[in-house]
Amino acid sequence: MREVLLLHKDVSLLVEQIEKRLGKQDEKIELLFAYLSKFIEKEDSPRNTIGYKKWEE
């Protein structure tokens, strides 16, 4: 009976450790998607030309 209780306790500890790891990964993935959505929503503004400018007469 003691062995079963110890085994059950060990398994529950392992499950808790895995849940903690996955919880941290979920937060990182949500943060990544938040950054990506900011880039997608950003409006493209016209760029300034680089180089020599032509003189128009």
pLDDT of 7-33, one tens digit each? 778 888 888 888 888 878 888 888 989
Model confidence pTM above 0.85: no
Token look-up 């499950």 returns 15
Return d(Cα 1, Cα 7) in angstroms, integer: 10
In the predicted structure, residue 34 carries a pLDDT above the cut 70: yes
